[in-house]
Structure 1
């Protein structure tokens, strides 16, 4: 009877050792899969970080350009007022502003209102600065 118990314990020990070996292999396999997933995630994070840096750089540049544009456009209303005051008897600038509001081109303004090309461009730019969606 003792021999049977020893044999059963030996078989149980072998099965237990085999199960432990299988668990160790399974754990190594899972660790390898996790390492692969971590590497893919890290690579994706690097790519997203680069894209974010690109977007941020573009946004900063756009902000700088908008600031510069605002600086250039800001004096236009005063310049238009000065031009209108040069010849108070002429309504051509008022007409030009109305025509610009209706979508008239620079050439239309020069022909219809008798403005110089530079004056017509100024009126057109002023209108577009005040009404950017037009």
Structure 2
């Protein structure tokens, strides 16, 4: 009889242990599936981030290229513009009539009339009217 009780107890313990092992295995599979799911999500976010970084890197390279090109063009323009004041000064000195027109243009900008231009710059009435009309055409509306 004791042997039967021991056998029954061992059977119950064995079944309980087996149930526990089965429950632990199922629980481990669920945990494993959750970890795998989190890993896939993490990998997907990582992949999206890498793609976005590549896109931004390409955009940055494009912007840098554009800035370098603009800098080069700005330097070229600076080289063209730098000698202009000196050349204008030489032109004014070499052609006395040019000085009258430049002075007349400045005076028109200050509000001088056609009569003022003829008297102070030595221009004819037609030349003074032309300078005045040219100055008006240059003004923004």
Aligned length: 110
Distance (Å, rounded) in 2 between the aligned partners of 1:9 and 1:88: 116
**Partner residue of 1:20 out of 28, 45, 49:** 28
Q: What RMSD over aligned residues (CA atoms) do the two structures have, in Å?
A: 3.1
Matched residue, 1:59: 67
**Larger of the two Rg values belongs to structure:** 2
- The structure whose residues are more often helix, as a share, is 2
Task: Say if 2:114 is the partner of 1:112.
Answer: no
Which consecutive residues of structure 2, in runs of 5 or more, have no partner in the other structure? 1-8, 112-127, 133-137
**Displacement of 1:26 after TM fit?**
1.5
Matched residue, 1:131: none
The structure-2 alpha-carbon separation of the partners of 1:38 and 1:98, relative to structure 1 and needing over 3 Å to count, comes to farther
Matched residue, 2:19: 11
Deviations 1:52-87 (A, max 9, x none): 111000000000010000000000100111111124
Which consecutive residues of structure 1, in runs of 5 or more, have no partner in the other structure? 103-108, 114-123, 125-134
Tell me: higher relative CO, structure 1 or 2? Use CA pairs within 8 A at least 6 residues apart: 1
**Partner residue of 2:103 out of 77, 81, 94:** 94
